[in-house]
């Protein structure tokens, strides 16, 4: 007889706290993707500057290269639930301030850049804490399914968020949009307050200093060639390919000559493709070569973005971004999965911190560089040139690492069997604090 628990993704969903974490992430990603499009149109309408639209991404990613290593250490040392509660309380506060500025017509571009910087700073703390919490709740056996559900969550938000943002900008306007964003941020905060995480076993041996913890994380990232390969390709993708998501309002307005409603629909295309791809991954019982899926996804994404930069037709651009999104499902899901499976539990927070560092560094350089090229030569050339270079770099880098040729080995010290992390067995809680 068919049982939903026999499907890995459904088995993970039986855990009450995983469902809370998943629902919070869904609402958060919806609000952030909606906000990204809303702020892009806001800055573009205020300044008519492609460069300043790109600065939103620059300020959002500016803290990540510098703070991510420390965030990984904190995720390994502190109560992850409290970190996530603090993060989402900050997001709610920022939304309220921007709503007030919009309602009083006092908003200026520098307000948006400060808000983006603060959001980027707290997001640095959220990523390693949330992903290591997923590993705690799912267990190693179900980790790939749990991370594919995370990707599905992200891309459900990427589908609905831009469409909603475009419709709100074209309809009731920016004030109503930010009122909805504030309400969503409050809902996520309340969910994080309800979350419980399993108690972690005390670390064996003496507590080491923060600097030593950081150095251990750096040594782990360099000496583990599987981890190093993921980080190098992630740097290429975030610097040269993925910045396109921040420039959708400009692409829609300048290349395709469409308004915010169709611009929002265009912004959802990658999310639709990634949702389809991640859903397929979530239903797979076993993935033998995580690295091959990671590399194939990166190549498909880079190809789709390279081609969309030269398309003057909305439908063609939409379909190419749909293709890129399908590739991104493999890239995004396997990115965190490989890092987590290649790291012992005590190093997982720092592995996620290393991922945040390279992702942030890539976006910081790529977003600024693309914005500068676009302001002189146009958005099509800027996006197409960068993504084409990224496409040319991915495969040779992959061939120098074991990603294609070796299966990801779960360390013997890894998390307890999945049965211990799934519902039906008692799990001590960290408490609300």
Q: Alpha-carbon dihedral of residues 364, 134, 126, 273, nearest 10 degrees? A: 40
What is the pLDDT, as a whole number, of residue 299?
A: 94
Pick the CATH number of 8-197+211-411 from 3.20.20.80, 1.10.260.40, 1.20.910.10, 1.20.1250.20: 1.20.1250.20
What is the pLDDT, as a whole number, of residue 433?
A: 34
Least confident piece of the model among 46-55, 105-114, 192-201, 304-313: 192-201
> Token pair of 227, please?
């981890």
For tokens 């589908």, the residue is 159
Confidence grade of residue 303 (pLDDT, cut at 50, 70, 90): very high
Q: What is the mean pLDDT of residues 395-401?
A: 86
Domain residue ranges in the chain = 8-197+211-411
Own/partner contacts of 167-172, CB < 8 Å, gap of 24 or more, are 167/260, 167/261, 167/264, 168/34, 168/38, 169/37, 169/38, 169/41, 169/42, 169/260, 169/264, 170/259, 170/260, 170/261
> Who wins on pLDDT, 7 or 282?
282
pLDDT tens digits, one per residue of 110-130: 999 999 999 988 888 887 778
Backbone angles phi, psi at 383, to 5 degrees: -70, -45
pLDDT tens digits, one per residue of 22-31: 888 889 988 9
Q: Which residues pair with 198 in a beta bridge?
A: 429
Confidence grade of residue 180 (pLDDT, cut at 50, 70, 90): very high
Least confident piece of the model among 44-58, 233-247, 345-359: 345-359
184 closest CA partner among 24, 18, 36: 24
Question: Taking 70 as the threshold, does the pLDDT of residue 108 lie above it?
Answer: yes
What is the pLDDT, as a whole number, of residue 182?
A: 93
> Token pair of 344, please?
């012992």
3-class DSSP state for residue 198? Answer: strand
As a whole number of angstroms, the distance between CA 294 and CA 233 comes to 9
Helix and strand counts by DSSP (H, E) for the chain: 17, 0
As a whole number of angstroms, the distance between CA 210 and CA 431 comes to 25
Q: What is the mean pLDDT of residues 193-218?
A: 63
What is the pLDDT, as a whole number, of residue 179?
A: 93
Confidence grade of residue 32 (pLDDT, cut at 50, 70, 90): confident
Question: Taking 80 as the threshold, does the pLDDT of residue 90 lie above it?
Answer: yes
Residue 428's Cβ-count burial label (10 Å; 0-12, 13-18, 19+) is exposed
DSSP one-letter string for 93-136: HHHHHHHHHHHTT---HHHHHHHHHHHHHHHHHHHHHHHHHHHH
Vertex 367, ends 364 and 373: CA angle to 5°?
135
State pTM to two decimals.
0.66
79 closest CA partner among 203, 198, 213: 198
Residue 277's Cβ-count burial label (10 Å; 0-12, 13-18, 19+) is buried
229 closest CA partner among 162, 145, 292: 292
3-class DSSP state for residue 412? Answer: coil
Q: What is the mean pLDDT of residues 187-210?
A: 71
Note the maximum CA span of the chain.
Answer: 63
- Half-sphere exposure in the Cβ direction for 154 (13 Å, CA): 19
348 closest CA partner among 337, 334, 360, 358: 337
Q: Which residues pair with 429 in a beta bridge?
A: 198
Which residues 6+ apart lie within 8 Å of 152 measured at CB? 275, 278, 279, 282
What is the pLDDT, as a whole number, of residue 227?
A: 82
pLDDT mean across residues, the chain: 80
What is the pLDDT, as a whole number, of residue 189?
A: 94
What is the pLDDT, as a whole number, of residue 83?
A: 87
> Token pair of 223, please?
């000496």
Give the number of residues written for the chain: 433
Q: What is the mean pLDDT of residues 283-297?
A: 79
As a whole-number percent, the residues of the chain with pLDDT over 90 amount to 25
pLDDT tens digits, one per residue of 359-376: 778 887 888 888 889 888
What is the pLDDT, as a whole number, of residue 305?
A: 93
What is the pLDDT, as a whole number, of residue 405?
A: 80
334 closest CA partner among 144, 140, 129, 131: 144
> Token pair of 29, please?
């990603």
Cα 14 to the center of its chain, rounded Å: 24
348 closest CA partner among 73, 66, 82, 70: 73
Confidence grade of residue 141 (pLDDT, cut at 50, 70, 90): low
What is the pLDDT, as a whole number, of residue 213?
A: 62
Q: How many CB atoms lie within 10 A of CB 144?
A: 27
Confidence grade of residue 1 (pLDDT, cut at 50, 70, 90): very low
Which residues 6+ apart lie within 8 Å of 235 measured at CB? 358, 359, 361, 362
Alpha-carbon Rg for the chain, nearest whole angstrom, is 21
Q: What is the mean pLDDT of residues 401-409?
A: 77
What is the pLDDT, as a whole number, of residue 415?
A: 38
């Amino acid at each position: 007889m068919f049982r939903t628990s026999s499907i890995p993704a459904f088995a993970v969903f039986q855990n009450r706290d995983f469902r809370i974490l998943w629902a919070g992430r869904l609402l958060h990603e919806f609000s952030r993707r909606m906000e990204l499009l809303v702020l892009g149109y806001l800055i573009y309408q205020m300044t008519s500057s492609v460069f300043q639209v790109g600065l939103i991404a620059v300020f959002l990613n500016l803290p990540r290269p510098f703070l991510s290593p420390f965030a990984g250490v904190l995720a390994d040392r502190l109560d992850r639930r409290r970190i996530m509660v603090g993060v989402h309380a900050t997001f709610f506060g920022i939304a309220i301030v921007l709503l007030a500025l919009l309602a009083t017509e006092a908003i200026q571009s520098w307000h948006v850049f400060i808000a983006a910087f603060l959001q980027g700073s707290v997001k640095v703390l959220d990523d390693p804490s949330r992903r290591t919490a997923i590993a705690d709740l799912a267990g190693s056996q179900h980790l790939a399914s749990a991370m594919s559900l995370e990707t599905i969550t992200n891309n459900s938000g990427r589908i609905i968020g831009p469409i909603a943002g475009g419709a709100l900008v074209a309809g009731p306007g920016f004030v109503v949009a930010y009122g909805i964003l504030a309400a969503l941020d409050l809902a996520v905060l309340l969910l994080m307050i309800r979350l419980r995480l399993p108690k972690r076993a005390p670390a064996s041996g003496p507590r080491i200093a923060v600097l030593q913890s950081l150095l251990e994380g750096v040594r782990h990232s360099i000496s583990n060639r599987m981890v190093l390969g993921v980080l190098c390709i992630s740097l290429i993708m975030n610097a040269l390919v993925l910045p396109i998501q921040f420039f959708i309002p400009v692409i829609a307005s300048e290349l395709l000559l469409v308004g915010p409603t169709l611009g929002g629909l265009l912004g959802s295309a990658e999310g639709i493709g990634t949702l389809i791809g991640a859903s397929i991954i979530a239903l797979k019982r076993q993935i033998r070569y995580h690295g091959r899926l990671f590399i194939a996804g990166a190549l498909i994404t880079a190809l789709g973005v390279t081609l969309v930069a030269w398309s003057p037709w909305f439908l063609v651009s939409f379909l190419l971004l749909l293709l890129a999104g399908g590739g991104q499902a493999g890239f995004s899901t396997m990115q965190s999965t490989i890092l987590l499976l290649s790291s012992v539990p005590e190093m997982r927070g720092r592995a996620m911190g290393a991922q945040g560092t390279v992702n942030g560094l890539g976006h910081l350089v790529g977003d600024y560089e693309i914005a500068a090229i676009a302001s002189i030569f146009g958005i099509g050339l800027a996006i197409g040139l960068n993504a084409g270079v990224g496409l040319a770099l991915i495969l040779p880098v992959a061939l120098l690492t074991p990603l294609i040729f070796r299966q990801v080995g779960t360390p013997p010290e890894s998390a307890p069997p999945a049965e211990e992390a799934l519902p039906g067995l008692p799990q001590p809680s960290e408490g609300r604090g």
